[in-house]
Structure 1
Amino acid sequence: MASVFSDDISIDLGTANTLVHVAGRGIVIDEPSVVAVRNFRGGREIMAVGRKAKSLVGRAPESMEILRPLRDGVIADFIATEEMLRQFIKRTKSMLGFRRPRILICVPAGATPVERRAVYDTAVQLNACKVYLIAEPVAASLGAGLPIDEPGGAMVLDIGGGTADIAVLASGVIVEARTLRCAGNAMDEAIIRYVRRKHQLLIGEANAERIKIEAGTALASGNGRAAEVHIRGRDLRTGWAKSAVLTPKDIAEALSEPVDDIADFTQRALEELPPDTLSDIMRRGIHLTGGGALLDKLDVALTRRVGVKFHVQRNPMHCVVKGSAAVLEGLSEHSHLLMRP
């Protein structure tokens, strides 16, 4: 029984979603990184977290605030983040309970020492016996099953909600790791700006995210999505409700700026690699992970812009948390991949 209720917890603490993996049980939490807070007598009371809190977006009373406690992959609201994680971890516990767990949390590759320390201190408050940190794209490389211990280089581009992260590993060593604070949320914002500019229509973040998920595409040509999407919002000129229709061409045009930014970011990383490693990457391609990898034809668009083949991994949203779980399982052989808090 003790082996079933292990003490190892891996957390992919993302701007958009948080995933929790428990050793022996797999991924047990996969919910939005959202917290509903009620302002009460000069203080704040946590009312809901995760999926339940997100369902209140646009429906919450004036006394309640819907927060995203993480911004660009790092903690923006310490109290809300701690309570969100506390409730998520509480749900993972069996009726027998855990001993004090070992916790590994994924952070952006470019997180500053102050940002890493904030995540570390928050995890310590969760009554962990040990806390470890790892860069998201490094964990994604392991979770995608890439041959990181071979001499030839393996490159991952992990696109989450707040950040796009790159890692290059060769012979089990991190050759390059960097972060761009432009990812899924930037795509939502690009759609909002486009609809405002072209249709003089104001839509919210939830509506923009729906458009991205249901009809988003990085390229409008070829055999991609052909469906139009109907949107409703507020007419900026009259203030009344108004409808509009977006075609795949519209959405591809709206998303061109963040896709270009991610392509330029990848190109700069390639330019700074050692010649032999670059040759390996050119031959093997770049592996896409994270929720952003699910954007229709993103791999094709990036391949055209960068000139290197991109491959979307299977279950790209789970690569980071599965990789972090593999690190905890073999901590002695993977300890050199960890980040300092």
Structure 2
Amino acid sequence: MLKPQRIGIDLGTANTIVFIDGQGIVYKEPSVVAKNIHTGEMLAVGKEAFEMLGRTPGSIVASRPMKEGVIADYETTVVMIKYFIKKASKYAIQKPYVMICVPSGITEVEKRAVIDAARSAGAKETFLIEEPFAAAIGAGLPVHAPTGSMVVDIGGGTTDVATISLGGIVDSRVSYAGGDRMDEAIIHQIRRDYSLTIGDRTAEIIKMTIGSADIDEASRYGSMEVRGRNMVSGLPKTVTIQAIDIARAIQSVIEDIITSIKQVLEETPPEISADVINHGIIVTGGGSLLRDLASVISKEVLVPVIIANDPLECVVLGTGESLKNIDVLKRSYRNEAR
């Protein structure tokens, strides 16, 4: 008898990555849905919808149904999950088992919303795994060993900080200081300094091109031309943005991330703290790719900081590894899965 397919989903604010047990990562697309606001018809999901961001007529809205790591628009999230499940299991006969990553600090109501959305989207049963734990597994940390590890997962909507030992999270914090907050800070800075309005996509490109977590080092990354709309005349305008201005713009977000790390370290038992000092802090997620981030964090918390291999995929890889234990989860957490 054929067993149901096992699918792991990193349901991120910015991107969704899908893992199939036995196949690995099969899809990675933006967490964006486009719909007609008059008819309610869903027009596009993922890459196709992302291309519409900021370019749609008045009757069409392209938006992200996830905000700060949790569901902001339930019906649209169901459509998005259904799209990814259907795409991943198009040749499957039975409904699949689905494991979805969630931030460590979400409420029971928010967890239930994710479970219900996945079941409405066609999952046979749905299981949840906390993002920092999944990230630690995906980064190759010894999560089940009697030794402490610390992981910082910087996503689009949230930064999840956790210490882990013996197969569980010892202490954790969730901050809303993620990549989206950095983009918002860049948009605000350019509006204020240059009277130029830019969109989210342009802000992200700026961050990726000349962004740095270190103001002192930012000047090394030069400048770039940015196109937007002049707030005074309403006409298109091109300005040259300096990297140091971008570093200053996102400093408050970097400081919030560092504050969360310090809070977790302060509440972590001494033995685990000693392990963290010995092994270092592992940073995952798209935000970890920001230039000079590791050195800035290390300087502030006085602990070695290491950017994980494949930081964008650590969470979904850890989820994929956890799919192997789904039979144990069914016995232990069946009441939560339902």
Equivalent residue number for residue 318 of structure 1:
313
Displacement of 1:123: 0.8
Work out which of the residue numbers 110, 115, 118 in structure 1 matches 2:113: 118
Change (3 A) 1:102 1:226: same
SS at match of 2:312: helix
| Aligned mate of 1:307, from 302, 305, 324 | 302
The corresponding residue for 2:142 is: 147
**Cα offset, 1:340, TM superposition:** 4.5
CA distance in 1, matches of 2:311, 2:93: 29
Deviation per residue, 1:244-292 (Å, 9 max, x gap): 2122211211111100110011111111111111121122111000111
**Cα distance, 1:98–1:259 mapped onto 2, change above 3 Å:** farther
**Unaligned runs of at least 5 residues, structure 2:** none
Q: Provide the aligned length of Structure 1 versus Structure 2.
A: 336
CA contact (8 A) 1:191 1:254 kept: yes
Aligned to 2:98: 103
Task: Look up the match of 2:73.
Answer: 77
Which of 52, 58, 71 in structure 1 is aligned with 2:48? Answer: 52
Aligned with 1:242: secondary structure?
strand
Query: CA, structure 1 residues 225+26, in 2 after alignment: closer, same or farther (shift >3 Å)?
Result: farther
CA deviation map 1:104-124 (0-9, x unaligned): 000111111111110010011
Q: What is the aligned partner in structure 2 of residue 133 from structure 1? A: 128
What TM-score does the superposition give when structure 1 sets the normalisation length? 0.92
- Which residue identity is paired with 1:315? D
Alpha-carbon deviation of 1:224? 8.5
Equivalent-residue separation in structure 1 for 2:256 and 2:89 (angstroms): 41
Query: Which is worse superposed, 64-73 or 201-210?
Result: 201-210
Identity value in percent: 41
Answering whether residue 83 of structure 2 is matched by residue 87 of structure 1, we say yes
**2:323 maps to which of 311, 328, 335:** 328
Q: Give the match for residue 13 of structure 1.
A: 11
Aligned equivalents of 2:315, 2:220: Cα separation in 1: 28
CA distance in 2, matches of 1:222, 1:170: 35
Amino acid at match of 2:143: I
Flag the 1:218–1:334 CA change in 2: closer, same or farther, 3 A: farther
Report what 2:235 is aligned to: 240
1:215 correspondence with 2:217? no
Task: Look up the SS of the partner of 1:299 in the other structure.
Answer: helix
Aligned to 1:61: 57
Pairing 1:178–2:173 present: yes
Q: Secondary structure of the residue that 1:44 maps to in structure 2?
A: coil
- 8 A Cα contact 1:134 1:338, kept in partner: no
Question: Which amino acid is the alignment partner of residue 107 of structure 2?
Answer: T
Point out the more displaced range, 135-144 or 276-285: 276-285
CA positional deviation for 1:38: 0.6
Alignment of 1:275-314 (within 5 A): 275-314=270-309
Structure 1 residue 136: Cα displacement: 0.5
SS in 2 for 1:131: strand
How far apart are 1:301 and its partner, in Å?
1.3
The answer on whether the counterparts of 2:79 and 2:121 sit within 8 Å (CA) in structure 1 is no
Q: Quickly say closer, same or farther: Cα 1:338–1:305, change in 2 above 3 A.
A: farther
Structure 1 contact 190–254 (Cα < 8 Å) conserved = yes
The letter of the residue matching 2:11 is L
Aligned pairs for 1:260-275 (under 5 A) are 260-275=255-270
Q: Which amino acid aligns with 1:61?
A: P
Task: Classify 1:230/1:319 alpha carbon distance in 2 versus 1 (closer, same or farther; 3 Å).
Answer: same
Q: Report the alpha carbon displacement of residue 73 of structure 1 after superposing the two structures with TM.
A: 0.6
How big is the alpha-carbon RMSD for the aligned residues of Structure 1 and Structure 2? 2.2
> Aligned to 1:23, which of 21, 24, 34?
21
Higher mean C-alpha deviation, range 323-332 or range 256-265:
323-332
Quick check: 217-226 or 162-171, which moved more?
217-226
Give the 3-state SS of the residue equivalent to 1:118 in structure 2: helix
Letter in 2 for 1:191: I
Give the match's secondary structure for 2:37: strand
Q: Secondary structure at the match of 2:19?
A: strand
User: Matches of 1:334 and 1:284 in 2, distance apart?
Assistant: 29
- 2-structure distance, mates of 1:260, 1:113: 29
Q: Which runs of 5+ in 1 are unaligned?
A: none
Query: Matches of 1:60 and 1:271 in 2, distance apart?
Result: 47
Counterpart CA distance in 2 for 1:106 and 1:10 is 8
Work out the CA distance in 2 between the residues paired with 1:225 and 1:87. Answer: 43
TM-score by length of 2: 0.93
